A = this chain, B = another copy of it.
Amino acid sequence: MMDNEITTWKIKRLKEDRVEELEDYIAVESPINIYVNKRRFVTIFASPQLLKELAVGHLVAEGIINSIEDISQIDVRSNNVLVTLSSSNIDLEEFKLLKSITTECTSIDSYIETLKSMSNLRIGSKLYVKVDDIFKMIRKMSENSKIYRKTGGTHVAALFNKDAKLLYLAEDVGRHSAIDKVIGLALINGCDLTNSVLTSSGRITASMILKAARAGIPIVASISAPLNSGLIAAEKIGITLICFVRGKRMNIYTHPERILLD
């Protein structure tokens, strides 16, 4: 196919006992290598598009850098993204150490304790959004999920202002990378996210809530389920988490005060 994030494949489709042969659209995933200061920092299996946005979003959303100002140069060569930081104060080794500590906890209880205490992030936003606007956002996100509609193989994330205006949207084979990309898109375009709503098609974990928190986003809404870690993180950090937004229903799990129910 034309777009590098979609390819085609010859299939047999069986439908109501009738078999037809056709070319179908398939979502592509590729290893994307992010280099920071000439050293490979991470390889992410992602859709091969918006690679600069993926790198910027990932580094901010994972808390490696504080803002896009910390990047002095960024180049994309094939599936390699080369990032040069403007500050030499950022200790990448320390980050890898932190990452290792959080996954090395010795019991499930200590993991929950780690989640509860892990972050000094605190979202105190007074943003409020009408419940009908949350429904509108999810509808608009779904309508604009073009790769998903062709392939069924991608996740989508989008950012909205409080009046349900679509600001940015990104699709990716990974639900985490879709969030990285949409945050990267916003940051590259100089958008302040502290009054925005993040929507996602995927199940919500702690790592996704932390990505939103580091970008300053106060409300997260998903079509899918929350996992336990996502709820604990959202509750603790002060993010409003809404899941199972489908048709005319939704579940509000944490900090419901930001949602105007009538």
Q: Which chain A residues have a beta carbon within 8 Å of chain B's beta carbons?
A: 4, 7, 9, 11-17, 19, 24, 26-31, 33, 40, 43, 45, 48, 78-80, 103-108, 111, 131, 151-153, 173, 203, 205, 224-229, 231, 244, 248-253, 256, 261-262
Contact = CB atoms under 8 A, between A and B. Distances in A.
B33 A104 contact: yes
B27 A225 contact: yes
A151 B225 contact: yes
29 contacts: A4-B108, A7-B228, A9-B231, A13-B249, A13-B251, A15-B248, A15-B249, A16-B248, A16-B249, A19-B261, A24-B251, A26-B227, A28-B228, A29-B205, A29-B227, A29-B228, A30-B111, A31-B111, A33-B106, A40-B104, A78-B106, A78-B108, A79-B111, A80-B106, A152-B224, A152-B225, A153-B203, A153-B225, A153-B226
Copies in the complex: 2
Interface centre among A17, A225, A256 (most CB of B within 10 A): A225
B104 A227 contact: no
Contact of A227 (B17, B108, B173, B229): B173
A229 B253 CA distance: 36
B103 A43 contact: yes
A103 B29 CA distance: 12
Contacts of A248: 15-17
A43 to B, nearest CB: 4
A131 B19 CA distance: 11
A213 to B, nearest CB: 19
Contacts of A31: 103, 105, 108, 111
